[in-house]
Amino acid sequence: MVVNNTGLIEIRWHGRGGQGAVTSAELLAQAAINEGKYAQAFPAFGPERRGAPVVAFDRIDSESPIRVRAEIREPDVVIVLDPTLLRVVKVTAGLKNKGLLVINTRKSFTEIEKDFGSNWKLALVDATKIAREVLGLPIVNTTMLGALLKAVGVVKTESMFEPINGRFGRIAEKNINAMKKAFEETLVKE
């Protein structure tokens, strides 16, 4: 797992308004808390509207309470829900050397490395395709949770079930299936 020396892992989510980046961060934090870890999730909002770039954050620590409440500037992990953001937002800004970059994309490792270099561990998944197949909508938040869990086991997959059920109710099973399918299909390269 990509963590700094203190057991703390810091995650930055990049998405667009309405895609569920904030929801994903909240679900992940809840799952971590349910496992007995310390966690926080929060968004960075400006004048966002549906479709505008948004950023959300998670801090998870298995050892100590989290006292920092500031935006994460040097994440261990960056997750990109919308591949069009790769052209308009510097998603790797501050990403720690040897950190993890998780991207919703149809591109290959070679294509991504050509654009972003090979300083990071990469996890790639076509989350949009999976979301359309399983959910019937191109909303990739739970799908990208599956990709994250495949690349770095910050929480157990089963730990996501309760938060997803609580959040999505009658459509929770579809979201859990999307997460599981993404877990299976995510490709990871060190």
CATH number at residue 157: 3.40.920.10
pTM: 0.92
pLDDT of residue 158: 97
Rounded to an integer, the average pLDDT of 106-120 is: 89
The answer to whether 64 touches 4, Cβ cutoff 8 Å, is no
Q: Which amino acid is at 111?
A: E
The mean pLDDT of 12-22, rounded to a whole number, is 90
- What is the pLDDT averaged over residues 28-36? 97
Longest dimension (CA), the chain: 42
pLDDT for the residue numbered 72 = 93
Q: What is the pLDDT of residues 46-72, one digit of tens each?
A: 555 667 788 999 999 999 999 888 889
Question: pLDDT tens across 69-104, in order?
Answer: 888 999 999 999 999 998 888 999 999 988 999 999
Kindly state the percentage of the chain with pLDDT values over 70: 94
Q: Which pLDDT value is given to residue 117? A: 79
Q: Taking residues 15-22, what's their average pLDDT?
A: 88
- Residue 41 is part of which domain span? 8-189
**Full strand arrangement of the beta sheet holding 121-125:** 38-44, 53-61, 8-16, 77-80, 100-104, 121-125, 187-189
Looking at residue 180, what is its pLDDT?
98
Q: Please, which pLDDT band fits residue 24 given cuts at 50, 70 and 90?
A: very high
pLDDT at 70: 85
Residue 177 lies in a domain: yes
Domain membership flag for residue 88: yes
How many domains, the chain? 1
Torsional sign, CA 154, 39, 143, 122? negative
Residue 45 pLDDT: 65
129 within 8 A of 105, measured Cβ to Cβ: no
**Residue 2 within any structural domain of the chain:** no
Contacts of 170 (CB under 8 A, 6+ apart): none
Asked, for residue 121, whether it belongs to a domain, the answer is yes
Domain membership of residue 160 (yes or no) is yes
What value does the mean pLDDT take over residues 116-123? 87
Asked whether residue 1 is assigned to any structural domain, the reply reads: no
DSSP 62: S
Q: What is the mean pLDDT of residues 120-147?
A: 95
Rounded distance between C-alpha atoms, residue 184 and residue 179, angstroms: 9
With respect to residue 3, please indicate whether it lies within any of the assigned structural domains: no
CA distance 151 to 111: 19
